[in-house]
Amino acid sequence: MTTSSRVCSQLAIPALVAAALVATTHSQTNREASVPKPTLPNPYRLVPNWPTLPASMKGPNDTKWGEVIRVHVAPNGNIWVFHRCFNDKPQGDATCLNRGEANPPILEFNPAGRLLRSFGVGLFAHPHGFTVDKDGNIWTTDSNNEETILGMPAKNPQGVMMGQTVFKISPEGKVLMTIGTPGMGGSGPYLFDRPTGVAIGANGDIFVSDGHSRNKSNNARIMKFSKDGKFIKAWGHMGSEPGDFREPHDLYVGGSKGWVYVADRQNNRVQVFDQDGNFVAAWKQFGQPSAVYVDKNDNIYVGATYEAVAPGQTALRPTAGPNDRAIVIGNAISGELKYLIPDPGDLTRMTDTGTSASGIAVDDQGNLYAADVGFNNLRKYSRMR
């Protein structure tokens, strides 16, 4: 049996009234950002008109993109994009169902922004997690947990339910490994419930953040597998203690320490662990994080919101100010903040969840790429010297 097949198969009333009043007052007066938005320099410049898309690839209402969820740079310098098939329905949760051959979810661009290839039609219902390993292979998660979306069955051309899986895919588009059982959610060692992110360690170990908000299994954990897909361990539960999570929305493994960085979104913190799951740090200074990335120089990049958000919730409405969301850059060892790139759009009009930088990557030249779910865009920034 192949690895892919084996992995797949597996008080008095007055007191109560008083307490309720206190709770109500508390919830109303504590709708504050976890930390103030920092004032930091911005040494980055937005690169206009990047990338170039074929005329046949177009987002809704003649916009350039639909929801772009992740971006990563391959070892050869090319930029890979994971997006929701030039679609924005349902808003903030767009689907790839029935989008056709002209709307592939995986795209590869060269540094100049020219499209090199695309594939993945029929593989995903709800693209979410994404990375590229040292060999150039692509890793994805599909966080769909619905049997139907917009009245359409969430099935692939073979009639199999899509979602709840991690795929390893070759640069040519061939599925090399599947972890999880398509369409089946759960809390077992080979089951996910709305997996949000995937990252690969230097030795090939596979790390998965599992438990997008509102999943039926109440999952909120990090799972670790060997390079051939064998379950090693899991850590974290639903909660706010160190090592627990409320919506682990993204993760990255890297930097000089090889630490595991987790965007623990509804706890308004980035948590840091070693690769055995031992707690290292929890950082609140990055606001409410949706994306996390660490470069080879130990810089950490976080897609964050500093909007007022009640504890245990994700930002689900337009922001109070036009630039309450940003990419925040700091030191990946100490957590010290360095820079802040404000979102370029007027986010008072935005209705999507979290930050509009839901995926971040940096190339060897220091250029920064942001997958923009909120404004349906893919952004490139150059570093001003």
Q: What pLDDT, in 10s, does the model give residues 326-355?
A: 999 999 999 999 999 998 876 666 544 456
pLDDT value of position 307: 76
Token pair listed for 36: 């103030």
Inter-CA distances, 236 with 123, 217, 313, 324, Å: 29, 14, 18, 29
Other Cβ atoms closer than 10 A to 46: 13
Q: What pLDDT, in 10s, does the model give residues 283-312?
A: 999 999 999 999 999 999 999 988 777 777
Lowest mean pLDDT among 9-13, 300-304, 321-325: 9-13
Q: How confident is the model at residue 14 (pLDDT cuts 50, 70, 90)?
A: very low
Residue 320 parent element (H or E): none
Q: What is the mean pLDDT of residues 32-47?
A: 86
Contact partners, residue 341, CB within 8 Å, separation at least 6: 42, 44, 326, 327, 328, 329, 368, 381
* Residue whose tokens read 């993945």: 120
Q: Which residue has the higher pLDDT, 313 or 261?
A: 261
Lowest mean pLDDT among 68-72, 243-247, 369-373: 369-373
Residue 5 parent element (H or E): helix 3-9
Whether the Cβ atoms of residue 56 and residue 102 lie closer than 8 Å to each other: yes
Q: What is the mean pLDDT of residues 168-184?
A: 98
Name 311's bridge partners: none
DSSP 9: H
Q: Is-above-0.85 flag for pTM?
A: yes
Inter-CA distances, 383 with 38, 44, 291, 362, Å: 20, 5, 20, 10
Q: Distance between CA atoms of 159 and 301, rounded to whole angstroms? A: 39
Torsion angle, alpha carbons of 83, 98, 192, 158, to 10: -130
Q: Distance between CA atoms of 267 and 318, rounded to whole angstroms? A: 20
Q: How confident is the model at residue 23 (pLDDT cuts 50, 70, 90)?
A: very low
Mean residue pLDDT across the chain = 89
The phi and psi torsions of 331 (rounded to 5 degrees) equal -90, 125
pLDDT value of position 349: 64
Residue 26, pLDDT > 50, answer no
Whether the Cβ atoms of residue 310 and residue 11 lie closer than 8 Å to each other: no
Q: For a pLDDT cut of 70, what percent of the chain falls above it?
A: 85
pLDDT value of position 91: 87
Amino acid at 380: K
Residue 323, pLDDT > 80, answer no
The number of angstroms, rounded, from the C-alpha of 116 to the middle of its chain's C-alpha atoms is 24
Coil, strand or helix: which one is 11?
coil
DSSP 52: B
Q: Distance between CA atoms of 59 and 43, rounded to whole angstroms? A: 30
Q: For a pLDDT cut of 90, what percent of the chain falls above it?
A: 77
Q: Distance between CA atoms of 125 and 143, rounded to whole angstroms? A: 8
Contact partners, residue 118, CB within 8 Å, separation at least 6: 104, 106, 107, 108
pLDDT value of position 17: 31
In residues, how long is the chain?
385
Q: What is the mean pLDDT of residues 192-213?
A: 98
Q: What is the mean pLDDT of residues 16-41?
A: 52
pLDDT value of position 353: 47
Q: Distance between CA atoms of 264 and 255, rounded to whole angstroms? A: 19
The number of angstroms, rounded, from the C-alpha of 266 to the middle of its chain's C-alpha atoms is 13
The phi and psi torsions of 106 (rounded to 5 degrees) equal -120, 125
Lowest mean pLDDT among 155-164, 199-208, 310-319, 360-369: 310-319
pLDDT value of position 235: 98
Token pair listed for 210: 């599992």
Q: Distance between CA atoms of 192 and 185, rounded to whole angstroms? A: 5
- Dihedral sign from CA coordinates of 313, 318, 320, 322: positive
The phi and psi torsions of 8 (rounded to 5 degrees) equal -65, -35
Residue 182, pLDDT > 50, answer yes
Whether the Cβ atoms of residue 355 and residue 92 lie closer than 8 Å to each other: no
Q: What pLDDT, in 10s, does the model give residues 222-273?
A: 999 999 999 999 999 999 999 999 999 999 999 999 999 999 999 999 999 9
Other Cβ atoms closer than 10 A to 133: 20
- Dihedral sign from CA coordinates of 343, 125, 171, 191: positive
Q: What pLDDT, in 10s, does the model give residues 90-140?
A: 988 999 999 999 999 999 999 999 999 999 999 999 999 999 999 999 999
Q: How confident is the model at residue 12 (pLDDT cuts 50, 70, 90)?
A: very low
Residue 200, pLDDT > 70, answer yes
Name 142's bridge partners: 127, 165
